[in-house]
Amino acid sequence: MSAVSTAGTVTAALSFVSPPPGLDPLTEFSLTEIPGADGLFSLQSAEDQRTRLFVLDASVYLPDYSPVISDEHAAALDLTGPDDALLLVVTNPGEDGTTVNLMAPIVVNAATGRSAQIILDGQDWPLRAELGARSA
């Protein structure tokens, strides 16, 4: 994954193997860390600057989140093991707090930026899980 650092902010190019659900035909995105918010990123379309999501690094905010990624999905992303992957979850800020989508994480090959939003069929992860305070 090629990363560019500007004024202390890291931005990486992500290329989705297929458009994320609801974002067809977009496949090229930039992942930019939000300054001062460890593990929080902006995921912005390189093809349509108006399209942007906020995502969290699951390892920072959800250390117990451990979805099973199929061999087929791992192969599509050229992953050889769990350490190759960055696991991101889409956030949904609302009046009653922030929820995260655990049913469809974004899996990123940390070395190449090759990405996919994977729907976890047959796994018991919620679409809207409340995001609690981060443990120190």
Rounded distance between C-alpha atoms, residue 98 and residue 116, angstroms? 23
Looking at residue 125, its amino acid is W
The full set of domains in the chain, from first to last, is 3-130 (2.30.290.10)
Name the pTM for this structure: 0.88
The one-digit pLDDT tens for each residue of the chain (136 residues) are 544 333 445 579 999 999 999 999 999 999 999 999 889 999 999 999 999 999 999 999 998 999 999 999 999 999 998 889 999 999 998 888 889 999 999 999 999 999 999 999 889 998 998 887 554 4
